[in-house]
């Protein structure tokens, strides 16, 4: 089993699916000769040609609109957003057109919109947004947030093969940070299945994306210092949401901390907390806690960015308070 970075795993999934299915093609800004802002499609134009690796104008509306048209005509487009912050420029095409077409016309729209998201790399307010909750709130769109290299490959594959529009948020801080064993060849992780990252009995952390690593570090710290036994559930996909896995974990531990890097108000953690309160109330031994970024644009200055984003210390403190309740 080869070892790959998170970035290499996504690239491998794209390449594998393009070899397997000629209807899969890639479009986006600088994806051809340059290989994209983070080089995920480096070398693709040499292997697949300019008809399947297409450089586009700097117009997210046009890019996503073209992808919708291609999907309606039997293709499986993969759109690369140079940064997911700028998906806002194509929001109408995604939320009003792609998301509703199957409902309105009964025609599938198999397309993947993917790209780098998240903070922690000094990208400032225009290159650090975690906007997954916008799309989780839009019926008709599936939302994917992988945390591991293997999941990045498997979920990319599943997203390309799905007959619905899928939006995948790849945390740019993980691109080259992690290196793991990744299955060779065709590999798929089903959408809507959570993963138990760490088993435990004292409290559950429900999270996804970059916060999986933050939560794991906090859990290990509490285990060493206080003997706490923390369970971590990586939901992997927001839509579809693996509610049963989350409920089962919290029913076992009796305590729940929901964490994400996105800002607090309106974040997906609120949706998870509401479902837990509705369906797990009698199992809870403490109030449900949330950990998220401050309700602020992401600062450019590293010290301010670290202050805004949730940290290991913040998660550790919240877990300690939860355990002591």
**Cβ-count burial of 50 within 10 angstroms (0-12 exposed, 13-18 middle, 19+ buried)?**
exposed
Bridge partners, 291 (sequence order): 259
Looking at residue 1, its pLDDT comes to 87
Digitized pLDDT (tens) for each residue of the chain, 325 residues in all: 899 999 999 999 999 999 999 999 999 999 998 999 999 999 999 999 999 999 999 999 999 999 999 999 999 999 999 999 999 999 999 999 999 999 999 999 999 999 999 998 999 999 999 999 999 999 999 999 999 999 999 999 999 999 999 999 999 999 999 999 999 999 999 999 999 999 999 999 999 999 999 999 999 999 999 999 999 999 999 999 999 999 999 999 999 999 999 999 999 999 999 999 999 999 999 999 999 999 999 999 999 999 999 999 999 999 999 999 9
195-324: what CATH class? alpha beta
Please name which of 152, 58, 170 lies closest in space to residue 114, comparing C-alpha atoms: 170
Residue among 295, 218, 280, 270 nearest 245 (CA): 280
pLDDT, position 59: 97
Q: How far is CA 208 from CA 26, 70, 132, 144, 148, in A?
A: 26, 31, 11, 9, 10
Sketch the domain layout of the chain as residue ranges.
3-181, 195-324
Residue of 127, 137, 171, 260 marked active site: 127
Q: 260 an active-site residue?
A: no
**Residue 74: strand, helix, or coil:** coil
Backbone angles phi, psi at 309, to 5 degrees: -80, 150
CATH T-level assignment (fold) for domain 3-181? Rossmann fold (3.40.50)
Residue 181: count other Cβ atoms within 10 Å of its Cβ: 11
Per-residue pLDDT, 17? 98
What DSSP designation does 295 have?
S
Tell me the Ramachandran region of residue 310: left when phi exceeds 0, alpha when psi lies from -120 to 50, beta otherwise.
Answer: beta
Residues in Cβ contact with 305 at an 8 Å cutoff, skipping those fewer than 6 apart: 119, 120, 122, 128, 298, 299
Do the domains 3-181 and 195-324 sit in the same CATH topology, yes or no?
yes
Report whether 234 contacts 264 (CB < 8 A): no
């Amino acid at each position: 089993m080869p070892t790959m970075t998170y970035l290499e795993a996504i690239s491998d999934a794209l390449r594998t699916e393009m070899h397997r299915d000629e209807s899969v093609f890639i479009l986006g800004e600088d994806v051809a000769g340059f290989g994209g802002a983070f080089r995920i499609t480096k070398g693709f134009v040499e292997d697949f040609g300019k008809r399947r690796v297409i450089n586009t104008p700097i117009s997210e509306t046009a890019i996503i609109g073209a992808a919708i048209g291609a999907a309606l005509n039997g293709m499986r487009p993969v759109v690369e957003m140079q940064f997911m912050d700028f998906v806002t420029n194509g929001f109408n095409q995604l939320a009003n057109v792609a998301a509703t077409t199957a409902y309105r016309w009964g025609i599938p729209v198999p397309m993947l919109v993917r790209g780098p998201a998240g903070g922690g790399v000094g990208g400032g307010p225009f290159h650090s947004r975690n906007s997954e909750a916008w799309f989780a709130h839009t019926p008709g769109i599936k939302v994917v947030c992988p945390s591991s290299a293997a999941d990045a490959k498997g979920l990319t594959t599943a997203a390309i093969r799905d007959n619905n529009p899928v939006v995948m948020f790849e945390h740019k801080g993980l691109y080259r940070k992690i290196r793991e064993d990744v299955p060779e060849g065709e590999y798929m992780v089903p959408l809507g299945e959570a993963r138990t990252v760490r088993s435990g009995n004292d409290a559950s952390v429900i999270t996804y994306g970059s916060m999986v690593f933050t939560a794991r570090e906090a859990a290990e710290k509490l285990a060493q210092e206080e003997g706490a036994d923390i369970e971590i559930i990586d939901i992997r996909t927001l839509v579809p949401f693996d509610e049963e896995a989350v409920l089962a974990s919290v029913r076992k531990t009796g305590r729940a901390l929901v964490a994400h890097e996105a800002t607090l108000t309106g974040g997906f953690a609120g949706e998870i907390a509401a479902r837990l309160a509705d369906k797990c109330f009698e199992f809870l031994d403490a109030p449900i806690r949330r950990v998220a970024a401050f309700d602020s644009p992401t600062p450019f200055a590293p010290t301010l960015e670290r202050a805004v984003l949730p940290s290991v210390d913040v998660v550790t403190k919240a877990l300690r308070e939860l355990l002591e309740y």
